[in-house]
Amino acid sequence: MTIHLCFHGIGTIRTEREPGEARYWVAEDEFLRILDLVQGRDGVELSFDDGNRSDAEIALPALIERELDATFFALAGRLHDPLSLDRDTLRLLRAWGMRIGSHGWDHVPWRGLDEEGARREFVDARTALEEASGGRIRHAALPLGRYDRATLRRLRDAGYRAVFTSDRFPANDSAWLRPRYSVTATDTAESVLRILDGGPRIDDAVRLGKSLVKRMR
């Protein structure tokens, strides 16, 4: 089993695009301490959602220094936003051996989309991100962690090989649907270490149960 740690922004947020976004930004010094914990440790994967500029300005140099890699789930609708990853930074990430995934177009929940919205988020966004980054995209991450059976069916039909959630329990990396632990502003290296060293927990089983319920809706 693998622990997937997901980050959203590193450092101090400049503009909060939606209410509560700041709680998902991790202080730079704490982020570096967390990477030091992960360095050389088996069974841990890293990813970054939302395509914030801090992914390239802060996270990438720190990953390179520690010989770590990660998946960056970018937003196609923010490619021209100066605070977000653009074509050049996506290609820079790939050049350093990082993986690029799709987080959709507009950072909206994927549950309940109409056909036009689903095409924009699942197909058009991937096409735009592939063209921008110069490579294929096989993985997607669910914005805001919301999904149901219809959402997952559409993602399968769109050809994604793996989909990442925010369900907070260990992942089987041969599975198509893979949960992650989002690291937030209140987390520290110590709290992340407890996740890494905790082993199977009752709350993991509870979250697994909730995930199964979502897939049945």
**Per-position pLDDT tens, the chain of length 217:** 999 999 999 999 988 988 999 999 999 999 999 999 999 999 999 999 999 999 999 999 999 999 999 999 999 999 999 999 999 999 999 999 999 999 999 999 999 999 999 999 999 999 999 999 999 999 999 999 889 999 999 999 999 999 999 999 999 989 999 999 999 999 999 999 999 998 555 455 444 444 443 544 4
Find tokens 């088996």 and name the residue: 42
For 131-168, letters b (16+ CB in 10 Å) and e give ebbeeebebbbbbebebeeebbebbeebebebbbbbbb
d(CA 211, CA 178): 10
* pTM of the complete model: 0.91
d(CA 22, CA 126): 26
